[in-house]
Amino acid sequence: MDETIKIEISHSFFEFKKEEWNELVPSDSLFQEFEFLSGLEETGCIGKSDWKPVIVSARLEGKLLGLIPSYLRKDSYGEYIFDFQWANAFHRAGIPYYPKLTIAVPFTPVTGSRILFHPELAHVQKESIGQSLFMALKVFGEREGVSSIHILFCKDEEQTVSQNTGFHPRLSHQYHWFNRGFSNFEEFLSTLVKERRKTIRSERKKISETGLQIQTLTGELIQEEHANLFYEFYQDTHSKKWGQAYLNRKFFLKMVETFRHRLLLVLASKPNGDPVGGTWNLYRDGFLYGRYWGALEHVPNLHFECCYYRLIDYAIEHKMERVEAGAQGEHKFLRGYETVPMFSSHFIYNEEGRSAIESYLEKEIKMERENIEAYNAHSPIKALREG
């Protein structure tokens, strides 16, 4: 690598300019945009006691060429690629597992670039700079006494770069919806087996019969009142299912203030205007990401309508390529979402621990490949069953 390229370690997103940072973010990685990450930091969702930013950057004569946003962690919550068993094994062996370094978007199990490069760089330059960034992060981790470095929900090609610096691949899966050039929702339904078409039509019909008004809001239609409302939805869901919420009200308000152009809200209300429930989603170009669902009262099938069908409607209407709806997936799978591989890479400093985990991952990769094939063989999508 050119000796004039300078590698630096930073601990705040505000050490960078928004414009120079966002120039490196590809369209399928919107959660790496400056407004989102700095919003998490500014509102105290990350950085105080956990998810402390460790940003490795490369510059040439002051120009930002590459970035790896990572985080110093004291536990594994909010990551969704689970390593709790690894932590327990380390603990039983008397080896500290925390702190560790995680390269991911906090609390956000979606795919995207984990190494950000300036778009003008050639492939060979990206490889060289990427390896230098990883090596700098490994040196930092060794100095800080971390047990490991984890790259989560990365792109397939990023696994190759990381493996060249000693990382080991891991495979899991999620469920994503893909637009096969559909002109409307019914055309999408025609690609599913008969029983699933019947179920989905029934679910949508029952929602239409409730009299609820369901809006899809973007841009200037989204106001501060929506930030407060959807925070209440978010709080309600977490109190019922997951306990402590990761995000606070300030974050939702900040997103409406600075990231409104990426927000897509689906809001269900009674005829008198009283809100019932909805979803907080984000989008950029051809990619739509379902994130947070919540409801103030239970309405059968409303979750499916707001989380899946309205997003598919929007994606078809706007000719978008893909809808991702986050972790977990039985409901998504049954509603026409395809089973897709999800990639991560892991580096363990302790040699014995590394050997044991890599042996486990080899077996897990084989099992996951078989799982993905099996799921798609039983998919409600006719083409996947037949192919």
| Strands 213-218, 116-117: pairing kind | unpaired
Q: Would you state the structure tokens that stand for residue 130, as one six-digit string?
A: 């990427």
For residue 336, what are the contacts with CB-CB under 8 A and spacing of at least 6?
A: 177, 188, 189, 191, 192, 196, 200, 312, 380, 381
Q: Would you state the structure tokens that stand for residue 387, as one six-digit string?
A: 């192919």
Number of structural domains the chain divides into: 2
329 pLDDT band (50/70/90 cuts)?
confident
- Report H helices in 243-350: 249-258, 302-304, 310-317, 330-334
Q: From CA 282, how far away is CA 44, in angstroms rounded?
A: 21
22 and 149 within one domain: yes
Q: From CA 173, how far away is CA 335, in angstroms rounded?
A: 16
Q: What pLDDT is attached to residue 161?
A: 80
Q: What pLDDT is attached to residue 242?
A: 54
193 and 166 within one domain: no
27 and 122 within one domain: yes
Q: Would you state the structure tokens that stand for residue 128, as one six-digit string?
A: 């060289």
Q: What pLDDT is attached to residue 328?
A: 76
The predicted model gives 234-247 an average pLDDT of 73
265 and 185 within one domain: yes
CATH of the domain at 194: 3.40.630.30
233 and 141 within one domain: no
Q: What pLDDT is attached to residue 319?
A: 97
Q: What pLDDT is attached to residue 3?
A: 64
Please give the residue range of the domain that contains residue 62.
Answer: 5-173+340-377
252 and 128 within one domain: no
Residue 82: pLDDT over 80: yes
Cβ atoms of 168 and 345 within 8 Å: the answer is yes
207 and 347 within one domain: no
Residue 44: pLDDT over 90: yes
Q: pLDDT of 286-321, one tens digit each?
A: 999 999 999 999 999 999 999 999 999 999 999 999
- Helix, strand, coil in percent for the chain, rounding step 5: 45, 25, 30
Mean pLDDT of the chain: 94
The answer to the question of residue 258 being in a domain is yes
The answer to the question of residue 333 being in a domain is no
Q: What pLDDT is attached to residue 31?
A: 98
Residue 241: pLDDT over 60: no
The answer to the question of residue 384 being in a domain is no
122 and 243 within one domain: no
354 and 208 within one domain: no
Neighbour tally for 158: CB within 10 Å: 22
Please state the φ and ψ torsions of residue 22, each to the nearest 5 degrees. -65, -20
The answer to the question of residue 134 being in a domain is yes
pTM exceeding 0.85 = yes
The answer to the question of residue 284 being in a domain is yes
212 and 135 within one domain: no
Cβ atoms of 153 and 171 within 8 Å: the answer is no
Q: What pLDDT is attached to residue 1?
A: 46
202 and 111 within one domain: no
204 - beta bridge partners? Answer: none
**Percent of the chain's residues with pLDDT above 90:** 89
Task: Name which of 136, 134, 135 is nearest 151 in CA terms.
Answer: 134
161 and 54 within one domain: yes
- Cα distances (Å, whole numbers) of residue 288 to 39, 210, 265: 20, 27, 11
Cβ atoms of 343 and 161 within 8 Å: the answer is no
The answer to the question of residue 9 being in a domain is yes
The answer to the question of residue 276 being in a domain is yes
The answer to the question of residue 279 being in a domain is yes
Q: From CA 145, how far away is CA 98, in angstroms rounded?
A: 9
Residue 213: pLDDT over 50: yes
